[in-house]
Amino acid sequence: MTESEKIRVLLVDDHAVVRAGYRVLLKNCDDIEVVCEAESGERASRAFVESEPDVVVMDLSMPGLGGLEAIRRITARDDKARILVFSMHEDTVFVEQALQAGAQGYITKNSAPEVLIEAIRELASGKTHIDSDILQRLAIQKSRGRNSPLSTLSTREFEIFCLLAEGLNTSEIAKRMSLSYKTVANYSTQIKSKLNVTSVAELARLAIRHNIINP
């Protein structure tokens, strides 16, 4: 197989050791080539333009610009971008938010190595790939009409919700997401209104209940 026929992959994870593990795994695949790596959402957005990958393998939890916002920015630039989320988060709300942001695949870091390879190949061929256990949970949730209240949040609102729940203040969030203080303050008000809470402490309790953060 020639270099031009290989599936070009951009790896995005803030842990160098984790990226090295992916790279070794994918190096053994004749049809896949890692063309670029990024350690943050900001770098991922730039690397996508520079390396023109066929598939982006994206972590969600990173310092600075998170994975969800990076997905949103990449797909806003190129609506044909193929993004596979590879995350430690197994809660269905993260899957819903990732798909809403523009991802076409979602698998967890508990998946077997061959699942990552299969998912990359499926996305490269124009298909979607969502972890079977998560897919089942999503289906059960929908059939019972038990959508999480967090599902009502937009991608950006959900990212800000997570940061507020982690204890960051409005100024810190504004700096991290390159937004104005006023914009973040407005989002914070909207989030509390949508979730029917009045304080950051209540937000944090909601986040713990939905396994967004650890108590």
Query: Same domain, yes or no, for 105 and 65?
Result: yes
Examine the pLDDT at 16 and tell me if it is beyond 90. Answer: yes
How far is residue 197 CA from its own chain's centroid?
25
Res 124: pLDDT: 97
**Residues 62-86 pLDDT 10s:** 877 789 989 999 999 999 999 999 9
Based on the structure, what is the number of domains in the chain? Answer: 2
In a domain, residue 215? The reply is no
pTM of the full predicted structure?
0.85
How does 83-110 read in b/e, with b if 16+ C-beta sit within 10 Å? bbbbbebbbbbbbbbbbbbbbbbbbbee
Decide which of 164 and 148 is more confident.
Answer: 164
Query: Same domain, yes or no, for 93 and 15?
Result: yes
Query: Same domain, yes or no, for 137 and 155?
Result: no
Q: Which long-range contacts (CB under 8 A, 24 or more apart) does 197-201 make?
A: 200/164, 200/165
**Residues 88-143 pLDDT 10s:** 888 888 998 999 999 999 999 888 999 999 999 999 999 999 988 888 887 777 66
pLDDT over 90, % of the chain: 67
Query: Same domain, yes or no, for 20 and 107?
Result: yes
Query: Same domain, yes or no, for 159 and 67?
Result: no
Examine the pLDDT at 2 and tell me if it is beyond 70. Answer: no
